[in-house]
Amino acid sequence: MEAATTLRPPLAEDPVASVGVFDIVIQMSQDNIVTKTETAPTPPLTGRTTQAGTTVTSMPLHWDDTSSRRIHICFAVATPDEGVPKHNQFEGTLRLKASYVKASGQTVHCVLDVALRIGPRQRSEDLFIFYVVHHVPPQRYCWVKLRAVDANTTKAVASANVKAEVLRDNFNNGFTNINRQVALETNKEGYVSCEGRTTLALPIDWPILFRATVPSHSAAMGYLPRAHMLRFTKDHLKGNTQDAPLRPDNMQLQRINTTQLTNRRFLLDPGHGVVYGLAAARRSQEWFGAHLVADRIAHLLQTRHGVPQENIFWTRTAGFGLIEPGSVNAAAAPETGAQRYEYNLSQRRIRIRNGNPTLLALSALLLTRHSGDTNAVLPVGAEDRARLLQINTATVNTITARINQQLQSSHRRVQPGSVRWDVTTNNYVYTRESTQTLPGGNTPPPQVQAFPITTQDWFEVDDAMLEVLADRSARWSLACEIGGDGNFQTSARTAMRTRGFVDYARTKVLRYLQQGSPQAYFNHGTKAWGPTPRLAYINGIDPECDLYLSIHLNAGGAAAKGQVLLVSRTDPPNDQIRLAKVFVKYVDPCGLGLRQGGVAAEEPNNPAAMLSAQNQRREKYTYFELEFMDAAHSSGGQGQYRYGELIEESRVDEMAEQIVAGIVESLLNRQPNLDAVTYRSTLGDPPLW
């Protein structure tokens, strides 16, 4: 590692030079930097002289300590005497050199150049350089002063913790493997600083993120996290140490009590579902993680930002199947059940549509409960069997009248009040009696008969029965609806069971169908909605929502990492890209950076139907792929997956907080000039990212 300074050739009439002093702190990134042992120069660097136009000083860089990777350098340069015109001040370039070893083992040499300027007998000691030792950023850096202010009062926000980070896109030709970031703070004037130094040198031609948080003992008076994203260009290189450095738009932090969203409307769409209607895309583990996050988002919007519950809309993502008790562990059970049974959601009644219809089979479907991790079948009590008859008196009477009509020619009938559950025969029965008296005054003895039903007989379903169907569907979902390979399914199932999936899923199934739910919830069958009914619901909400959020977890294998916001492949609306860019600043669930640059078009071989032109709300719509659930767990434990981390309560809270911070900025106070911050300029017209 080495530092060097070059000098612009002075004019011939320059008088004998005096001295200007630079005092600089350098923070190096966490790359695998090559170091060597070297003796400090003797005499010290200060005092050396050289010819104009050549390297006038050079010295090795020494870490103050290896853990901080921080270097403090101080050197003097020759300057024209006082009285010489300003343009004859010292102007030069500080060049830093270092090497790092890539994951492949290749050693890469990196150079950093940053402009310096100073006048005679001056000391510049407000300087801090974040040296990203990497092959991607240009070697030229610019000087920046960034200030954090209150969004409402414009007063300085002091003591904010600010993390400056080079955008991590996780491409090999970009930034991957580690986060290249530095911890900063704001001073009493609100300027972002390190050790009190507020003039920061940062790389150009790559997005830089600044994420600010303010410690507070008062939740009401505290600030929401605020993220700022900037990209410096060669036009910003004119900024320097002595004249005014670049001063971008302030970071505008908002106090929580100024972020009320009372009149705003939101649609939450957790991806996939419980008994998902699109059978080929069943991934209940993904739905569980996404719905946990969505629930937390809704909670924060209501309790902290004043959104009325009725202003938060949900797609119906938890459904149920007509799964027979013995099929709770059978993958095709919902489809088999749908062939045999029909359920009317709006009227809450059911019939057997095919096969041999029996009330015994229907009662087993509606009344049988399960227990334990093996979904053991529990016996149905006689009281429950009888309840099915009691709540269906009208249907029983209709069937009885039909039987009587059939028996009329043989002078028989159903004995009034005799339809019952019979514990002896373990079946629903009625007593058939004669309506005539035989010669001699004898009457044929009554006979017990199975109570017959047909495919046209509909039966009412009460709350307890619907809960049975919901519970069995939740159990089936845990047993059969988890995606991925066998090892992942086993790991995810354990994590879901630990987190209470069955109770959670059952509750959500019932919540969507409770009294007062939107009429649309009672359309499109019992299963969780696929894309088509979801889009119909989204397009039909009137008045429109302010934001529509689809939340997913990604899948891509052990090495995959990073979150991405997907946009339409064909003609994505510019406002959809702009909205995604706001969330890119905030959302980083596991601190692993971005996937595909953070905002990407859906993949051509894996299109997302929700992003199609059928979605009439794309300008207000975001599609999150939060992280890779089937990647390796951060602990590195054998057979453990990141999914277990993603559904932990603390991680769910973190993701929801990040998304809500993005919601607040997008609706109340968007960062100015964010259109100018681009990544590879491949999305938008004109390019926005």
Q: What is the pLDDT of residue 219?
A: 61
What ranges make up the beta strands (E) of 216-288? 226-230, 251-253, 266-270
Q: Are residues 201 and 226 in the same domain?
A: yes
Specify if 334 maps to a domain: no
Q: What is the pLDDT of residue 46?
A: 43
CA distances from 72 to 9, 26, 46, 56, 61 (A): 27, 6, 14, 19, 9
**Which sign, positive or negative, has the C-alpha torsion 253, 257, 258, 264?**
positive
Q: Are residues 88 and 147 in the same domain?
A: yes
Contacts of 637 (CB under 8 A, 6+ apart): none
3-state class (DSSP) for residue 589:
coil
Do the beta carbons of residue 601 and residue 612 sit within 8 Å? no
Specify if 285 maps to a domain: yes
Beta strand 594-601 with 563-567: parallel, antiparallel or unpaired? parallel
**Closest listed residue to residue 309, CA positions, set 359, 356, 355, 268:** 268
Q: Are residues 91 and 177 in the same domain?
A: yes
Residues of the domain holding 71? 2-257
Q: What is the pLDDT of residue 503?
A: 98
Do the beta carbons of residue 585 and residue 211 sit within 8 Å? yes
Beta bridge partner(s), residue 370: 377
Q: What is the pLDDT of residue 11?
A: 42
Q: Which of 442, 460, 478 is the last residue of a domain?
A: 460
Q: Are residues 428 and 507 in the same domain?
A: no
Specify if 337 maps to a domain: no
Q: Are residues 368 and 445 in the same domain?
A: yes
Q: Are residues 363 and 306 in the same domain?
A: no
**Closest listed residue to residue 320, CA positions, set 308, 337, 305, 303:** 337
To which residue do tokens 């879901």 refer?
A: 496
Q: What is the pLDDT of residue 37?
A: 66
Specify if 342 maps to a domain: no
Q: Which of 416, 440, 460 is the last residue of a domain?
A: 460
Give the burial string for 563-601 (b: 16+ CB within 10 Å, else e): bbbbbbeeebbbebbbbbbbbbbbbbbbebbbbbbbbbb
- Tell me how crowded residue 431 is: count the other CB atoms within 10 A of its CB: 16
**Which sign, positive or negative, has the C-alpha torsion 286, 288, 294, 296?**
negative
Q: What is the CA radius of gyration of the chain?
A: 35
Specify if 332 maps to a domain: no
Q: Are residues 61 and 41 in the same domain?
A: yes
Q: Are residues 440 and 467 in the same domain?
A: no
Specify if 278 maps to a domain: yes
Q: Which of 460, 487, 505 is the last residue of a domain?
A: 460
Q: What is the pLDDT of residue 66?
A: 77
Where residue 75 falls (left for φ over 0; alpha for ψ -120 to 50; beta otherwise) is: beta
Rounded Cα distance between 533 and 610, Å, is 10
Do the beta carbons of residue 7 and residue 56 sit within 8 Å? yes
Amino acid at 114: V
Q: What is the pLDDT of residue 436?
A: 86
Specify if 336 maps to a domain: no
Q: Are residues 436 and 478 in the same domain?
A: no
Do the beta carbons of residue 592 and residue 627 sit within 8 Å? yes
Q: What is the pLDDT of residue 17?
A: 52
DSSP one-letter string for 474-531: HHHHHHH---S-HHHHHHHHHHHHHTTHHHHHHHHHHHHTSTT--GGGGSS-SSBP-H
Q: Are residues 188 and 89 in the same domain?
A: yes
Q: Which residues of the chain have pLDDT under 50?
A: 7-16, 43-55
The 8-class DSSP code of residue 80 comes to: P
Number of domains observed in the structure of the chain:
3
Rounded Cα distance between 391 and 462, Å, is 8
CA distances from 392 to 140, 379, 398, 464, 552 (A): 80, 22, 10, 14, 42
For residue 686, say if its preceding peptide bond is cis, omega within 30 degrees of 0. Answer: yes
Rounded Cα distance between 293 and 188, Å, is 36
Q: Are residues 418 and 470 in the same domain?
A: no
Tokens of 433: 């009696």
For residue 43, say if its preceding peptide bond is cis, omega within 30 degrees of 0. Answer: yes
CA distances from 244 to 117, 144, 241 (A): 11, 9, 7
Q: Are residues 77 and 180 in the same domain?
A: yes
Element (H, E) at 665: helix 649-668
CATH of the domain at 609: 3.40.630.40
DSSP one-letter string for 180-208: -EEEEEE-TT-BEEBTTB-EEEEESSS-E
Of the chain, the end-to-end C-alpha distance in Å amounts to: 34
Specify if 689 maps to a domain: no
